[in-house]
Amino acid sequence: MTKRGMASRPLQQEDTQHWVDLEPVGRRGIVRPGATLLDAAQEMGVEIAAVCGGAGSCGKCRVQVISGELTPPTESERWFFSEDELAAGYRLACQAIPLSDVKVHIPPESLSTSQRLQLEGQETRVPLEPAVQGVDLALDPPTLDDLRADSVRLVETLEAQGMPEPCFPHPVLCEMSETLRANDWHVRVALRHINDAEALTYTCQKADVVTVLRPQQRLLGLAVDIGTTKVAAYLVDLETGHTLAKGGLMNPQIAYGEDVVSRIAYANQHPDGRRILQQRLVEGLNQLTQQLCTEVGAQPQQIVDAVVVGNTAIHHLFLGLPVTQLGASPYIASVSEALDVEAAYLGLRIAPGARVYLPPNIAGYVGADHVSMLLATGAWQAQEPTIALDIGTNTEISLAMGGELLSCSCASGPAFEGAHIHAGMRAAPGAVEYVEISWEEVHVQTVERRPAVGICGSGILDAVAQLRAAGVVTHSGRMNRTHPRVVPWNGGGAFVLVAKEHTANGHDLLVTRQDVNEIQLAKGAIRAGVEVLLQEAGITYRDIQTFIVAGAFGTYLDLKSATQIGMFPPLPLNRFRQVGNAAGTGARQMLISVPRREIAESIVERVRYVELTAHPSFTDIYMEAMIL
């Protein structure tokens, strides 16, 4: 057998199209010749979990074929399924190609279900200086003696009030005349003022008309934090700075790979890959925007400005930029500077002349979301040694001290999102999120207190820490096979965390030796990143005065467990700050304050990026950091 995940898809294909029925979601469609069940599900809008992007290496896209003929099981499938399971129709959706009409059952754990979303972040008040401001106007209506064009009439009315001469983007002109007449020539004009530096990218050098609204309509802004897994959006009143509504959704790109590496591969391997990924993301954002507007009785046209942050790969995929160069060393971004992009060009359905501000990226794997987090937490101006990190598939870390900033990124992997974990899942209902073990006694807590289905990131972190403390796992990650709850598993052993009679699917919920190893790799990468930055600064972990942990996973993880297994340095717990979605907070600050955008851009200019793979001490530090 070849190595897991390296088996190629079967060559046997047919030219005939076949129908695929997906249950219990109730979708039916034609699958193109040679396409897998995963391809078919994606084309029908069914989001089956695809952690590895369809490479056959994660085993998360499990389905059961009820009827129909498919290509023979691949070696990847034979790795994940027993002969009895294969005989019962279990397959990996990314490997199985229909050879006839088929009916397929998708179990709940294989669907990319909604998970707990982290929207809150620590707030910091900033002066209100938005890029767009509103002006209420009363225009003289045209007569046979006054035949000025609508645009001229509006410009001269603005100039009479001491406002700069504006220019009109084409989408604004398409709606302006109708709005003027529908409101009896009493309107509110949203103007975006620009300075000389920005004028280089505009046809007008004074101001843009963003939209023409009814009198007294509120001017709204949209701040968005696009994560690899989740999207958080905030609808903000630009005249008060107050957040009116907030919401989140799973990143729609998940169907094409649950990490950025898989999505980069998808974009590179499919002719329309970049377009599809960009389109799916924008469609999700438009739906979320409409939902937020409906919640407060507003219209998307009132959104006159937007700020979007994300990691460098997500930034590029959102803009439709090439990502091939991000997928291979030395991992170079297409663009790193801050951008203002026309919302209409991206497909966002907000005000016709609105723009989207994207803060600068630091490096290929340290993006604008990290810059936003540094801004929101104030870490950028720390004088005493401060670590700030946001844990994810790619963990971004900064060390700030004395006005200087060192940053790095480490490939901590998707284990904390539940990927590559035997019973792993995201933080959805039924996911084990808290674990307490004392030799034979085991207590677990699940999300929404549902019967256990799997285990999420905070749960597996707790489990490993507790197993180590109870002596079930050694410092090297080996299982103590004398423990009554340790059972044979692929030569390495597994711990029965929840017995089958207490789970939702009737199977034992196991923590395997491989699961422990995955956490060792992830936590080792994070700790090694921290230690390399400390070494570069000439200090030790004892000098750290503040340790900031941002993001959804950082909100729910147990700090004691994280320090116990060595993922974080053994600092007093009062030196840690769990700040929630600080990237979203930073995005809101930049939305309501142009000076905050200028600070964000200055932060990037001060950062010295450290490439871990090129650091002479990284390998030794990493190997030591993997010890439990």
Question: What is the SS3 string spanning 449-487?
Answer: HCCECEECHHHHHHHHHHHHHCCCECCCCCECCCCCCEE
Same domain, 35 and 106: yes
Same domain, 25 and 91: yes
Q: Model pTM?
A: 0.81
* pLDDT tens digits, one per residue of 306-362: 999 999 999 999 999 999 998 888 889 999 999 999 999 999 999 999 999 999 999
d(CA 115, CA 524): 26
Complete DSSP assignment for 276-338:
HHHHHHHHHHHHHHHHHHHHHT--GGGEEEEEEEE-HHHHHHHHT---GGGSSTT---S--S-
d(CA 341, CA 333): 17
Provide the 3-class DSSP secondary structure of residue 601.
Answer: helix
- Residue 452 inside a domain? The answer is no
Of 24-28, 133-137, 143-147, 208-212, the one with minimum mean pLDDT is 24-28
Q: Give me the torsion for CA of 244, 249, 252, 257, rounded to 10°.
A: 130
In the predicted model, is pLDDT for residue 599 greater than 70?
Answer: yes
In the predicted model, is pLDDT for residue 570 greater than 90?
Answer: yes
Same domain, 161 and 96: no
Range of the domain at 173: 132-213
The one-letter code for the residue type at 237 is D
In the predicted model, is pLDDT for residue 569 greater than 60?
Answer: yes
- Residue 96 inside a domain? The answer is yes
CB 41 within 8 A of CB 31: no
* pLDDT tens digits, one per residue of 294-307: 999 999 999 999 99
Rg, Å, the chain Cα set: 27
Over range 71-84, report the average pLDDT. Answer: 90
For the record, the structure tokens of 580 come out as 């929630």
- Residue 157 inside a domain? The answer is yes
CB 67 within 8 A of CB 102: yes
- Residue 34 inside a domain? The answer is yes
- Residue 106 inside a domain? The answer is yes
- Residue 326 inside a domain? The answer is no
Instruction: Report residue 220 CA to chain centroid gap.
Output: 24
Give the largest Cα separation in the chain, rounded: 99
* pLDDT tens digits, one per residue of 81-132: 888 889 989 999 999 999 999 989 888 778 765 544 545 555 667 889 999 9
Q: pLDDT value at position 510?
A: 95
Q: pLDDT value at position 195?
A: 54
Mark which of 158, 182, 213 sits at the end of a domain: 213
d(CA 457, CA 391): 11
Max avg pLDDT among 9-13, 159-163, 476-480: 476-480
Q: pLDDT value at position 547?
A: 98
In the predicted model, is pLDDT for residue 292 greater than 90?
Answer: yes
Helix (H) or strand (E) holding 152: helix 150-160
Mark which of 213, 234, 265 sits at the end of a domain: 213
CB 399 within 8 A of CB 408: no
Q: pLDDT value at position 113?
A: 55
SS3 labels along 555-575 = HHCCHHHHHHCCCCCCCCHHH
* pLDDT tens digits, one per residue of 423-474: 888 788 889 999 999 877 999 999 999 999 889 999 999 999 999 999 999 9
Mark which of 110, 143, 159 sits at the end of a domain: 110
Of 411-420, 480-489, 581-590, the one with minimum mean pLDDT is 411-420
Q: pLDDT value at position 201?
A: 39
If pLDDT is split at 50, 70 and 90, which confidence band does 25 have? Answer: low
Q: pLDDT value at position 199?
A: 36
CB 310 within 8 A of CB 365: no
End-to-end C-alpha distance for the chain, whole angstroms:
32
Bin 360: left if φ > 0, else alpha if -120 < ψ < 50, else beta.
beta
- Residue 31 inside a domain? The answer is yes
Look up the CATH number of the domain holding residue 40: 3.10.20.30
Same domain, 99 and 137: no
Helix (H) or strand (E) holding 213: strand 207-213
Q: pLDDT value at position 14?
A: 47
Beta strands in 334-446 (DSSP E): 339-342, 355-358, 386-390, 395-401, 404-410, 431-438, 441-446
If pLDDT is split at 50, 70 and 90, which confidence band does 417 have? Answer: confident
Q: pLDDT value at position 12?
A: 44
Q: At what angle do helices 368-377 and 312-319 cross, to 10 degrees?
A: 120
Q: Looking at the 3D structure of the chain, how many domains does it have?
A: 2
* pLDDT tens digits, one per residue of 192-217: 976 544 433 334 456 889 999 999 89
Look up the CATH number of the domain holding residue 155: 3.10.20.880
Same domain, 198 and 141: yes
Complete DSSP assignment for 518-547:
HHHHHHHHHHHHHHHHHHHHT--GGG--EE
* Averaged pLDDT score across all residues of the chain: 89
The one-letter code for the residue type at 236 is V
Same domain, 141 and 208: yes
Q: pLDDT value at position 288?
A: 96
Q: pLDDT value at position 112?
A: 64
- Residue 194 inside a domain? The answer is yes
CB 113 within 8 A of CB 454: no
Same domain, 99 and 159: no
